[in-house]
Amino acid sequence: MPAAASRLVNRLETLLAVAMLVAFFLPWMQSRTTSLSGLELVSLARGRQAEQAEAILLVAFAAIPVLALLTLGAALLGHGVRLFGGLCGLLALLGAGLLWLARRDADPASGAMVLAYGAYATLLLGLLLLLAALGVIRLPERRLGPGAQRGVDRR
């Protein structure tokens, strides 16, 4: 495996950043007839559909995939993975948490938009990414197989 690919696969922050990118395109809000992904929520901030406070929150959501991509780029370069991963996790955690607080009393029976699984996945991935960036959780170390020499890194 090439060294750059090895750096991407062997860091928990990069794996969680890829999952965060995928979660951004999953449905974040839904009603009986429609659903909106994270990308569509960000596009609402450009128009007059959102109030000013919601527009600020939606623009902040646009930084989530940017920070996830910066985390991947930092992993390729070998510097700043924890910084960008921590910022991405913190922003995703705060943004999805605020969205949950704003929509927790919404009644789906009345046709109101409620949170969908993409928002919950972003909330969970943000927490995991923040914990990984702080060094609380890590991928397990590779074990040496029989016949392998100690001290020789084969990655």
* pLDDT tens by residue, 79-122: 888 999 999 999 988 887 777 777 777 666 666 677 888 888 98
Global confidence as pTM = 0.76
Does residue 127 carry a pLDDT above 90? Answer: yes
Percent of the chain predicted with pLDDT > 70: 70
Domain boundaries, the chain: 3-133
Please, what is the end-to-end C-alpha distance for the chain in angstroms? 7
Q: How many CB atoms lie within 10 A of CB 72?
A: 21
